[in-house]
């Protein structure tokens, strides 16, 4: 008796092929923005809509280091983590179309930022501090918030980082609405 054939794999756009809505995706899409803005959640959903692979740079750093990010910060400090982050993102931006969610500080590194702006489609997910505070309170794994007031930290980070995130050619507001609305806004911007 013959085995049933495997179900067909989901259609994925070939390099340079038009994705849903007509966007031509010929390189990685990189999501940047503050912690809690939804880069990972939105990234997964965006990748699914586009039929592209999704990669979370933080997950790749954890896999490469063999320890959680909080432990990397505690043992080796933030500069060590940022160097590893830079190397991982450089490896991920290999010209292959995919969606990459970065950590909140990744785009602050000049070399990483230049690589993203040159070799990828950079999208800044932006949200107000109230939205970010509500989201980050759901997870206890953010080393920059450990033992600190999330509102104060996020307000300071926004003041420092938002002018740099603004270098991304696409800016999408992420608010308290469902992440699917953010995905739709990204698809619209990609098709513009």
Residue-wise pLDDT for 7-25, tens only, equals: 333 333 444 445 555 667 9
Q: What is the pLDDT of residue 135?
A: 79
Alpha carbon 140 to its chain centroid, in Å, reads: 19
- Structure-block tokens of residue 177: 């609405």
Does residue 36 sit in helix, strand or coil? coil
Binding-site residues for Mg(2+) sit at 40
Q: What is the pLDDT of residue 138?
A: 60
Lowest mean pLDDT of 10-19, 74-83, 97-106, 134-143, name the range.
Answer: 10-19
Binding-site residues for ATP sit at 36-41, 142
Length of the chain: 192
Q: What is the DSSP letter of 94?
A: S
Helix axes 69-76, 57-65, angle to 10 degrees: 60
- What mean pLDDT do residues 164-173 have? 96
123-163 pLDDT, tens digit each: 999 999 988 888 777 666 565 566 677 888 899 999 999 99
Q: What is the pLDDT of residue 23?
A: 62
Binding-site residues sit at 36-41, 58, 82, 104, 142, 161
Tell me the pLDDT band of 102, cut-offs 50, 70 and 90: very high
Burial track 135-165 (b if 16+ CB lie within 10 A, e otherwise): bbeeeeebebbeeeebeebbeebbeebeeeb
10 Å Cβ neighbour count for 44? Answer: 17
Domains and CATH numbers, the chain: 23-191 (3.40.50.300)
- Structure-block tokens of residue 55: 């990669």
pTM of the model: 0.83
Does residue 29 sit in helix, strand or coil? strand
Binding-site residues for substrate sit at 58, 82, 104, 161
Name 188's Cβ contacts closer than 8 Å, sequence gap at least 6.
21
Please answer whether residues 60 and 81 qualify as being in contact, where contact means their C-beta atoms are separated by less than 8 angstroms.
Answer: no
Q: What is the pLDDT of residue 11?
A: 38
Helix axes 78-92, 69-76, angle to 10 degrees: 130
pLDDT for 104 beyond 70: yes
30-62 pLDDT, tens digit each: 999 998 899 999 999 999 999 999 999 999 999
- What mean pLDDT do residues 174-187 have? 87
């Amino acid at each position: 008796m013959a085995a049933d054939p495997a179900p067909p794999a989901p259609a994925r756009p070939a390099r340079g092929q038009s994705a849903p809505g007509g966007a031509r995706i010929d390189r990685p899409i990189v999501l940047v923005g503050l912690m809690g803005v939804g880069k990972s959640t939105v990234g997964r959903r965006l990748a699914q809509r586009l039929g592209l692979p999704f990669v979370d740079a933080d997950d790749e750093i954890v896999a490469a280091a063999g320890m959680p990010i909080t432990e990397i910060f505690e043992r080796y400090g933030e500069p060590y983590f940022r160097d590893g982050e830079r190397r991982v993102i450089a490896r991920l931006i290999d010209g292959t179309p995919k969606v990459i969610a970065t950590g909140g500080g990744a785009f602050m590194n000049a070399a990483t930022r230049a690589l993203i702006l040159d070799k990828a489609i950079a999208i800044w997910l932006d949200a107000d501090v109230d939205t970010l505070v509500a989201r980050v309170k759901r997870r206890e794994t953010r080393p920059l918030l450990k033992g600190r007031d999330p509102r104060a930290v996020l307000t300071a980070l926004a003041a420092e980082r938002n002018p740099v995130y603004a270098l991304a050619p696409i800016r999408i507001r992420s608010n308290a609405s469902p992440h699917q609305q953010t995905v739709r806004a990204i698809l619209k911007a990609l098709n513009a």
